[in-house]
Structure 1
Amino acid sequence: MAEFPEGAPCWMDAMFTDLEGAKEFYGYVLGWTFGESSTEYGEYTQAYSDGKAVAAIVPPMPGADAQSAWCLYFASPDAAATAEKIKSAGGELLMEPMQVGVFGTMAIAKEPSGAVFGVWQPGDHKGFEKTGEPVSFAWAELCTRDAATVDAFLPQVFPYRARQMETPGPDGEGMDFKIFSLGEGESPVLGRMTMGEEFPPEIPAYIQVYFAVPDCDEAVSRARRRGGMLHFGPMDSPFGRFAALTDPQGAAFAVIDGSTRVGEMPDLT
């Protein structure tokens, strides 16, 4: 398959203390199946939809005590060079570029407002084998309380063009939201949303990943039946009907049915 362009979301994984529980939850909610765990790479286990790789799960490293969370990786032709850009732009490297066998080279970083993300330089593993289709990665938004810092950071690291989304509300005050795009066709690859008072202060900046689903309400019902917690929605939008949840181990994610769209698309400036 073709490699992803620089700056495009290309893969995601998450650490779970209860790996079997994660398999059961996402298998039930999204219909994922799981491959054999790779003991050579810390029981790294890929998830599949229709036989195509869509994500991976892994147990935490010995001694690690981190909250379960999905980590989104952005494609890079040179992980070491991207790592230098991250540091120069005010970000922090949590894991220096590390070669993962023949599969590629990875790094883990934190942007200045605190959201964690990954960098992936592909080798044999190019990334997602399925995106934008039901039960695969559909979209992502970087949620932050320091929009100006994020807006300055991202284009220094990846070749993004940023555009403000005009979303006027009933009181005349719109949501502060930007779209970051790539290439001549300006393909949108990432959103940036300012976190308002609806976000509890203890929630740090993070990247919200969206999974495409054929029926948002059904996906929410299935998640709740398996111990997931609903935080927002389901809600209609011009982009689809969506909802935000956490799984039983605390990893945040959202589901969206892009076939159910309500309202006019907002303008970009």
Structure 2
Amino acid sequence: MDAQLPDLEAGKRFYGELFGWTFEDQPTGTVRALKDGEPVASLAHKTDGRLPTVWTVSFATADAEALCRRILAAGGQVVASPAPFGDLGRTALVTDPEGAVFSLWQPGTAAGFGRRHEPGTFAWVQLYARDTETANTFYGDLFHEALFGEGADPDFGRTPVSEVFAPEMPPHLLVHFAVRDLEAALREVTRLGGRTQVPPFGTSYGTAAVVTDNQGASFALLHR
């Protein structure tokens, strides 16, 4: 997962203090975020001010081109076709049929998360959809083995957007970071210049709260 931020240094300060991340510059111009020396995310400078300031989750694939063809056939869109990202891998930007944006990642030297499911790392991604049946069909067909196959360990769920957000909120995927103490983490977000967008609420996968960082990028904090 990665965040495109107007001010990269401000982003490093915010997430470094919130999650205890350290950072490593990459030849691609991005910054790798590390937790205890293992990769957990990346930050990049947003070069086009017209683009939103967001966290984007990437789904791993062995063949980004083939998966893009399947996404188009299933009613999604390809925003940016698969392209090399240095020797780290190949990446593409796509949407589901309702317009929720996500990335594809075909690994090169960067396989993905070095740590997850522990404080300060990726914990879950939730799709907020208007038509949950369309979402079930689209994601189920594309990622059936990962979500439902033998030994699957899914970190993905979906719910109607109106259950948490205003009905006019566009469909989107929301990245969740694990925290040890949700109330303390919310106070830290505020101290660092962010804000609480949706206060704590119960889910089937834990207690979550939706926040924004000091540059407007939304994400969720999750306590299990």
TM (normalized to structure 1)?
Answer: 0.78
Q: 1:181 aligns with which of 119, 143, 147?
A: 147
Cα deviation for residue 224 of structure 1 reads: 0.8
The higher radius of gyration belongs to 1
Cα deviation for residue 202 of structure 1 reads: 4.3
Distance 2:50 2:196 in 1: 24
- Aligned-partner residue type, residue 22 of structure 2: T
Contact 1:143–1:205 (CA<8 Å) still a contact in 2?
yes
TM (normalized to structure 2)?
Answer: 0.93
Match of 2:199 in 1: 233
Q: 1:18 aligns with which of 7, 25, 33?
A: 7
Distance 2:13 2:86 in 1: 29
Cα deviation for residue 198 of structure 1 reads: 5.0
- Aligned-partner residue type, residue 207 of structure 2: R
1:135 to 2:101 alignment: no
- Aligned-partner residue type, residue 154 of structure 1: Y
Distance 1:188 1:103 in 2: 24
Match of 1:200 in 2: 166
Runs of at least 5 residues in structure 2 that lack an aligned partner in the other structure: none
Match of 1:105 in 2: 90
C-alpha offsets along residues 111-164 of structure 1, whole Å, 9 cap, x if unaligned?
A: 11111001111111101100111100001101111222212211232225xxxx
Runs of at least 5 residues in structure 1 that lack an aligned partner in the other structure: 1-11, 161-179, 259-269
Q: Over aligned residue pairs, what C-alpha RMSD do you find?
A: 1.8
Match of 1:168 in 2: none
Q: What percent identity do the matched residue pairs reach?
A: 38
Cα deviation for residue 241 of structure 1 reads: 3.1
- Aligned-partner residue type, residue 207 of structure 1: L
Greater helix content: 2
Task: Indicate how the Cα distance of structure 1 residues 66 and 93 shifts in structure 2: closer, same or farther if over 3 A, else same.
Answer: same
Distance 2:66 2:195 in 1: 39
Task: Indicate how the Cα distance of structure 1 residues 152 and 235 shifts in structure 2: closer, same or farther if over 3 A, else same.
Answer: closer
- Aligned-partner residue type, residue 3 of structure 2: A
Contact 1:182–1:189 (CA<8 Å) still a contact in 2?
no
Cα deviation for residue 238 of structure 1 reads: 5.8
1:250 to 2:216 alignment: yes
Report the count of equivalent residues: 224
Distance 1:95 1:192 in 2: 24
Q: 1:124 aligns with which of 109, 112, 117?
A: 109
Distance 2:14 2:204 in 1: 29
